[in-house]
A = this chain, B = another copy of it.
């Protein structure tokens, strides 16, 4: 299992548009066979900051996701909304493990 956390900083005028575009992307992403979860979180203290938590079955499924139509559409749509480049961190799950 691979967890990819994508840290996003959005320009203030695009907060609502970003939410809408990203929820649509998440709804489509969770239908991919290689995706277990695709959570969209918003920072309580700073509404311009979002976190996408993408849980993939394998590393390869992360690459496949970037080839989907919904990812490409989302990526194009939010390009102008970014206040700074997105930063992503890859994690391994320690607890719970694969069975949990």
Interface residues on A, range: 20 to 34
A interface list, Cβ under 8 A from B: 2-3, 5, 19, 22-23, 26-27, 38-45, 49-51, 53, 89-96
B27, B44, B90: the one within 8 Å of A91 (CB):
B44
| Stoichiometry, copies per complex | 2
B19, B39, B42, B90: the one within 8 Å of A96 (CB):
B39
A5 to B93, CA, bound (A): 14
Contact at B92–A44, with CB atoms within 8 Å?
yes
Once A5-B51, A51-B5 are accepted as A-B contacts, the answer to whether A40 and B90 lie under 8 Å apart by CB is no
Query: Within the complex, what minimum Cβ distance (angstroms) separates A8 from chain B?
Result: 11
Contact at B41–A94, with CB atoms within 8 Å?
yes
